[in-house]
Chains A and B, each alone.
Chain A
Amino acid sequence: MVIILTILVLLMIVSAIAVLIFKDLMNAVIASCMISLIAAILFYCLQAPDVAMAEAAIGAALITGILVIAVKRTKRFEE
């Protein structure tokens, strides 16, 4: 269990760094979605299903959608 949680946390850190590195903002949005998704899995593993549901619905679905709309309306590539 501890090994799985460690791998998930490391994946979260990797995707957080990826958000900073990506020049294509659509990729960065998907990477930030991945942070929320892994956070939801972690909450579920730590026996907080209520918070996991909220995190998955708001962090992974709604915020990603709103950021996709924002990228669509502005520029897609960072200079």
Chain B
Amino acid sequence: MRKLIGILLLAIIAGGIVLSLKEIPFGIPKTKIGQHFIEKGIEETGSTNIVTSVVVGYRGFDTLGEITVLFTAAIGLGAIFSTFGKRKTGIKTEPPSLIVDTGCRFLFPIILLVGAYIFFHGHITPGGGFQGGAIIASAFLLMYLGCAGKRIKGNAGKVIEVLGGVTFVGLGIIGLIIGKEFLFNFLPKGEPNTLLSAGIIPIIYIAIGLKVGSELSGIIDNLINRSQ
């Protein structure tokens, strides 16, 4: 009986979604702002990748909010795990075989390089700080799962995280100091489609990439070390 009611409710919800989505004309631009971004984006921000010009250029303040959300989540997780302390429940994991260990050691720097490439070229090719940071964190995840005994030591991750956040906010405040709005693009735009272009956008994306990468690596570090 409960299953029948569940299926009925699901059918009603699915019908509602289908009915409401049928009315929306997909693919037709309703506002003019999107067209403006596509036509003037490269000229105004200097970034060839239009997604980046929106995420860091036109909507840079929203990105600061996203970074803050991720930062708060990482802090919350760290706070919860710090109450557990470092205890051991006696789960024994067998050490990885030679092939797994060597493969992980071989792949780790390559994945790091790909992540760094993605956020360094965020204003030219698809990708950016968040994607590159997530790829860097996945390299650390691979190392934690595959290599025996390899761990992040010291506070380097936290220092990088803090420096990334400070760089982002600091560049925003420089815009205020010189008399324009927050996150004003004060550096020269340069020639589009070259590495040194788009003013402060690549600097901000590098800061975001390092921050997201070290934050997610810290989360993985907490999850693996503290929950043992």
A→B interface (CB under 8 Å): 49-50, 52-54, 57-58, 61-62, 65-66, 68-69, 72-73
B220, A54: Cβ atoms closer than 8 Å: no
B51, A50: Cβ atoms closer than 8 Å: yes
Answer yes or no: B163 CB below 8 A from chain A CBs.
no
Name the one of A52, A62, A69, A72 contacting B216, with C-beta atoms under 8 angstroms.
A62
A50, B220: Cβ atoms closer than 8 Å: no
A61, B145: Cβ atoms closer than 8 Å: no
Q: With a CB–CB cut-off of 8 A, which chain A residues contact B93?
A: 72
Answer yes or no: B68 CB below 8 A from chain A CBs.
no
- With most chain B CB atoms within 10 A of its CB, the pick from A62, A66, A73 is A62
B128, A50: Cβ atoms closer than 8 Å: yes
Smallest CB gap from B131: residue in A: A53
B220, A53: Cβ atoms closer than 8 Å: no
Q: Given A68-B145, A69-B224, A72-B93, are A61 and B126 neighbors across the interface (CB < 8 Å)?
A: no
A20, chain B: closest CB distance, angstroms:
13
Name the one of A50, A57, A68, A73 contacting B138, with C-beta atoms under 8 angstroms.
A57
Q: When A and B form their complex, what is the total count of cross-chain residue pairs whose Cβ atoms lie within 8 Å?
A: 49
Q: Interface residues of A: mostly helix, strand, loop or mixed?
A: helix
Query: What is the interface residue range for chain B against chain A?
Result: 20 to 34
**The 10 nearest A-B residue pairs measured at CB:** A57-B134, A49-B126, A61-B138, A53-B131, A65-B141, A50-B51, A57-B135, A50-B126, A58-B134, A54-B131
Answer yes or no: B223 CB below 8 A from chain A CBs.
yes
B220, A66: Cβ atoms closer than 8 Å: yes
- With most chain B CB atoms within 10 A of its CB, the pick from A52, A61, A66 is A61
Name the one of A50, A65, A73 contacting B131, with C-beta atoms under 8 angstroms.
A50
B91, A62: Cβ atoms closer than 8 Å: no
Interface string of B101-144 (1 = CB under 8 A from A): 00000000000000000100000001110110011011001100
Q: With a CB–CB cut-off of 8 A, which chain B residues contact A58?
A: 134
Answer yes or no: B227 CB below 8 A from chain A CBs.
yes
Q: Given A53-B131, A57-B138, are A65 and B51 neighbors across the interface (CB < 8 Å)?
A: no
A53, B138: Cβ atoms closer than 8 Å: no
Can you report 16 residue pairs joining A to B where beta carbons are below 8 Å apart? A49-B126, A49-B127, A50-B51, A50-B127, A50-B131, A52-B126, A53-B131, A53-B135, A57-B131, A57-B138, A62-B138, A62-B141, A62-B220, A65-B138, A66-B141, A69-B224
